[in-house]
Structure 1
Amino acid sequence: MSGDWAWQQADIIASDPSNLGSTFVPVILGSDKTTVSVGTGNNEYYPLYASIGNVRNNVRRAHRDAVCIIGFLAIPKTIKQYAARDDFRKFRRQLFHSSLAKILETLKPGMSQPEVACFGDGHYRRVIYGLGPYIADYEEQVLLACIVRNWCPRCLSPRGNLDEDSLCRCQEHTEALVNRTAPGVLWDEYGIVGALVPFTNDFPRADIHQLLSPDILHQLIKGGFKDHLVDWVEKYLKHIHGTSEAERIMDDIDRRISIAAPFAGLRRFPQGRGFKQWTGDDSKALMKVRSLEVPP
């Protein structure tokens, strides 16, 4: 999907004769608020990462500085009396977008007119920059897309029926709704927070709804496998067989996991899948083991 998007961006850039022969360089962004508790006293950090789309995967995965931290976003705080007020929540969310726009503004001239840059092979080329995919988990996507929690950041499906066919969100449609619709209707019927302005509005060819990319760790590995598949199977067994029989079946599943034969690249789980804190590596390793199990 990101490849199709890049071709579409290249077609738009090539429509200007002055840009012919230029290389499109999409700037990939990512952010995720985290808490560091080991030896630092539970300090909160909000790192902003950046990369470009013209790097091969073998370079990106070899830790050759293809991904780097370009800033730490502010985390505004206040006393409990004002923490839940609408004006403070609006200020906190808009500060996030304003900070991104300020950090990325040095790239703005190169998004309209070609700039000469030296590539890794030593050759100089004319490049056109553009905001590329923004990798974020759902909490970040809600903040980036300026939508109401539990709504989809990519389409207008109502949160009570996400399987319904509906139109995709886009910048032009959102701006038209904000200009002609009351804030209460925007919130209830479209899931849009009309008081916020996305940072992408300051840049050419940038639509935040098109740029959002799923976080593989949180939304696929931990979300799709652990939080959905594993938990769903456990709830299904309790619903069908009752708590006692479901626990017996889950114990049998743990036994099957624990006796998996050793193999290169396959991690063993002597205690089954019953551990408290799941990491991304735990989930990926357990996915391999579960795929090898033979159903009873």
Structure 2
Amino acid sequence: MGFYCVPHQRTFATLSGFQSHNRSHHKHPRPSSPRSTFSHHNLLDAKPCDVDGDILPLNTPPPPLDNIADWSPFEDRPAFEMAEWAFEKVETSGPDFTQLMKILTAKQVVQGQGKDSGFYRHSDDLLKTIDAIEVGDAPWESFTIRYTGPLPLDAPQWKREGYTVYTRNTLTVARNMLKSPDFKNSFDYTPFQEYIGVNERRWSNFMSGHWAWKQADIIAADPDTHHSMFCPVILGADKTTASVATGHTQFHPLYMSIGNVSNEMRRAHREAVMPTVFLAIPKASTAHKDDDEFRVFCKQLYHNSLTRILWPLRHGMTTPHVMQCPDGHYRRTIFGLGPFIADYPEQVLLAGIVQGWCPK
């Protein structure tokens, strides 16, 4: 006989499971949340549009999904599901996967069905197919920055080296986040104010804050942006260095998210915060690492790299881009640079202030 929790409408097969549920959820019941009222921005109100940016009539359904069964670069659905199972779910090692393919091939031979496993030849074949995926991907690119000042014969090594930055196209990353159906029920299309009583404001997700509302007011000063959706870009870095295979080259990872996604979804979904950049870390000899010239170069390298990285978003900060959203609708979207989450030393680098000063 099962055990049933009436408030949660959930059945438990064992008494121990039922008791554990009661201890977790009913021993100290949470008070019911107060009833909220919402006020949304009336100019940047994220009205749906067509692919050309023309506002749609009220209650127009989103365009139908493309149901064409195209599994490329995978041969078919079973090949895709095998890759998903091996690479993502169980994280099979290369040798183990190759051995599995050999076993499946042997089974085919015994049954007189040829010398093909029906899936992949070996692990390298699997990885090559996965790397060929294009839909929804933001491929990595690179650029190199060098010191461009005078180079005397005794110039230090840091002036002679090139510093390579690896980055994804930030506009493509934002587009992929915006159109992800996983965010459909955890996505704020407009800045909003939430009240749980008379003059009692509640701040929850990013779009409920003062900053998002004020930015929307600034953007809405241009009538051409009316009925657009505001998409704040959030950046973050933890100053953790990642060494590549050479063992001596280090990079500084930078992460990107968008303010429309709810806090809960941002914490739970790996695609709500994406590694987007690996910044170069210049090095100097002991004799030069404390030189003012080297310190200035490090700051210039950092800021010039960010300028290059964020450049794809620049046009969309004044002119709306038509983007597909999690609910399937298209909306005219205006981007904006939101907060940069960093520890204090990096705040000094970002703000261009003296160590010990407040970045504000």
TM-score in terms of structure 2 length: 0.40
Greater length-normalized contact order (CA 8 Å, ≥ 6 residues apart)? 2
Structure of larger gyration radius: 2
TM-score in terms of structure 1 length: 0.49
In terms of fraction of residues, the more helix-rich structure is: 1
In terms of fraction of residues, the more strand-rich structure is: 2
